[in-house]
Amino acid sequence: MLEYIFFSTINSLLYGMLLFMLSSGLTLIFSMMGILNFAHASFFMLGAYFAYQISQFVGFWPGLVIAPLLVGVLGALVERYGLRSVHKHGHVAELLFTVGLAYLIEEIVMLIWGRNAVPYQIPNILDFALVNILGTDLSAYRVFMLVVSIGMFIFLFLVLTRSRIGLIIQAALTHPDGVSTLGHNVPGVFMLVFGGGSALAGLAGVIGGNYLITEPSMAAHLGPIVFVVIVVGGMGSLTGAFIASLLLGAIQTFAVGVQVSLSDLLALFGLTPEPSGLLKDFLRIQISHTGPILPYLFMVLMLIFRPKGLMGKRET
């Protein structure tokens, strides 16, 4: 039991930090430009594929740096030459643009790397059990992922709160016109934030792609969850995104291990209904099987009862 709790905590923390790497960029982009970027998880996927390709030539470590940078530059180009011209046609056009971009990236990935998963593997040097805790191995790579994601979190925090460009970004979240009339290049800041957010998503892909599976559907799998994170956390709130990422990481990880069904729960209270048909099936569903739907359930409830999210500032 102790071991289950320990490893689930590590796993949920890992998953949560990966989610945060994706959602932090998405929520910054949203609050600054009002764009719900449906292609955000595609940059995550590109990070994994780029890292795989680079690792074929020069190994994992250069890829760890180069792949996110490439994805960041690509993101900046998408903002500069795509979104900026679509912008004058309104938010619906921007949204459709990002949806189209997500499909485009998926198709291109399939054209280049095929429909099946590519063998993007964790580097040999990290492929060992770091420690054995309570009878189970803790792999070095998981610890490495945790270190990278926490390091990135600290870096992002310092940039946003201590550097001048971070202050300009924070200011542009609420009053972009105010920032530009003070002489700061707001379109340039937008491009930087879009590129930076994409690079973060790319980094998540680099360190997550070999831990998970690098395949063309990985963006479509993760994309919706990231949206759940920013809705639950509150659109535009980094703190909210952080809390929601950890929360959803925990919900999904812990739910998997709970071999309890609704009827078991009812039995705890001395209730043993004898239903038939659909209801019987419903009561026999184990919580561990509901893992995948819990985030969405959470999001729907959130939208009904607290539409601005945990920490959100705006109502819509």
Partner 1 sequence: MLEIKDLHAFYGRSHILQGVDIHIDKGQIVSLLGRNGVGRSTTCKAVMGLVPARGSIRYQGEEIVGLKPHLVARKGIGFVPEDRWIFPGLTVLQNLQLGLKSRKQKGRWEIKDVFTMFPNLKIRRDVQGGLISGGEKQMLTICRTLMGDPDFIMIDEPTEGLAPMLVEQLAGLIKEIAQRGVSVLLVEQKLSIALKISSRLYIMGHGRIVFEGTPEDLKTNQTVRKEWLEV
List residues binding partner 1 (CB under 8 A).
164, 167-168, 170-171, 173-175, 177-187
Q: How far is the CB of 170 from partner 1 (least distance, A)?
A: 6
Buried-exposed string 62-99: b where 16+ CB fall within 10 A, e elsewhere: ebbeebbebbbebbbebbbebbbebbeeeeeebbebbe
Output the CA–CA distances (angstroms, integers) from residue 198 to 26, 45, 238, 293, 313, in the order listed.
8, 11, 16, 27, 24
Q: How far is the CB of 160 from partner 1 (least distance, A)?
A: 10
Beta carbon nearer to partner 1, 85 or 185: 185
Specify whether the CB–CB gap between 21 and 203 falls below 8 A: yes
Beta carbon nearer to partner 1, 86 or 160: 160
Q: How far is the CB of 162 from partner 1 (least distance, A)?
A: 11
Beta carbon nearer to partner 1, 180 or 288: 180
Report which of 57, 53, 31, 291 is spatially closest to residue 169, judged by C-alpha positions: 31
Q: How far is the CB of 166 from partner 1 (least distance, A)?
A: 10
Beta carbon nearer to partner 1, 79 or 215: 79
Q: How many CB atoms lie within 10 A of CB 103?
A: 14
Beta carbon nearer to partner 1, 123 or 166: 166
Beta carbon nearer to partner 1, 22 or 179: 179
Q: How far is the CB of 154 from partner 1 (least distance, A)?
A: 19
List the beta bridge partners of residue 214: 118
Q: How far is the CB of 307 from partner 1 (least distance, A)?
A: 21
**Quick check: helix, strand or coil at residue 116?**
coil
Give the C-alpha separation, 244 to 19, whole Å: 9
Q: How far is CA 191 from the centre of its chain?
A: 20
Give the C-alpha separation, 258 to 9, whole Å: 14
